[in-house]
Each structure stands twice: as structure tokens, then as C-alpha cells.
Amino acid sequence: MSFYLEESYPLELIYPYLSPHGLIFQLNHAPLTALPVKDIEADHAFWTKECGTLLGGWLKPDTSVSNVCAFAEAVYGRKDRSQFSGDKEYVTNDFAPPAFSKLRVSIAGMYQWRLMNIRGGGEGAAGGRSGLMRSGRRSHCAPPAGKRCIAR
């Protein structure tokens, strides 16, 4: 039997048991000493596809913060969607972007926890801690809070 969890509030005690599963987590029966590479790759593929569909495919791991801010200012700040090639219903919905963003940040929180707490080389063949960092910093579809754009 499999169990799945949508994180409403971060519970660090269960992070060792979680693996990414689309928008939510799979709750595993035993703690995972490492995330399987196939899970990390599937997670990256999922978020790349979802963000591409919703935002138009321009957001990549190497997209600069200034370009993300310019997008946010144009699409959310000035409501100029003339160059926007993503899902217009998504960006005009008052509930979908914050909900999607919250789910994405929950997954990133699990990667961050693993990065900070897993000792001895990290997560398998995905490149150890640097592989986790890359996976945890993948496409973030978070709309800005007001007109702020926060760099990390």
C-alpha cells in the first residue's frame, strides 16, 4: 500500500520518509538514506513540463534573476501578457499560482532539508550534494508577492 502527502505545514520529522511524487510527496515506509536517482530525474522532468506548460517554457535552471523579475513585473505587475506564451488562465487565476507555488516550495523544502541533513556524500549518482542543489533549485513557478522579486 502506498501513501501520499500534501505538505500543509513543514514537519521535519517526516522529511527522511518523503520522496517527490508530482505535486505532492510519497510517504515511504522507512527512511530513505538517499533519494533514488530515478525519483530526482522524474521530479525534474515533472516540474520542467508543468512550468513550461503554465509559463511558456522560458524558465530554465540558468535563467537570471533579473529575467525572472522582468517576467514577473510584466505579467503580474503591469498585466502585459502580449509576449506571454503560457497558460493565460493560469496567470489570471487568483488561486492557481499561489497554490502551485506553495506545492513547488514544499518540494524544494524537502530537497533543502536533505541537502542540510544527509551526511556522507549525499544523494546517489545525481552528483551528491551538488546534484541535490541543482534538483532543489529547478524551475520555480512562484508569482511575486506584490511587486517584490526575491533572489536566493
For the CA atoms of 100, 31, 4, 12, the dihedral, rounded to the nearest 10 degrees, stands at -50
Instruction: Write down the pLDDT at residue 12.
Output: 87
How do the pLDDT tens digits run along the chain, 152 residues long? 999 999 988 888 999 999 999 999 999 999 999 999 999 999 999 999 999 999 999 999 899 999 999 999 999 999 999 999 999 999 999 999 999 999 999 999 999 999 999 865 444 434 444 444 444 433 344 444 443 433 33
pTM: 0.74
Q: Kindly list the domain boundaries of the chain, sorted by start residue.
A: 3-136
Instruction: Write down the pLDDT at residue 118.
Output: 80
- Spell out the residues 6+ positions from residue 113 whose beta carbon is closer than 8 angstroms to its own: 12, 15
CA 80 – CA 52 distance, rounded (Å) = 19
Q: Which three cell numbers stand for residue 27?
A: 510517504
The residues pairing with 19 across neighbouring beta strands, listed in sequence order, are: 26
Instruction: Write down the pLDDT at residue 119.
Output: 65
Phi, psi of 121 (to 5 degrees): 110, -15
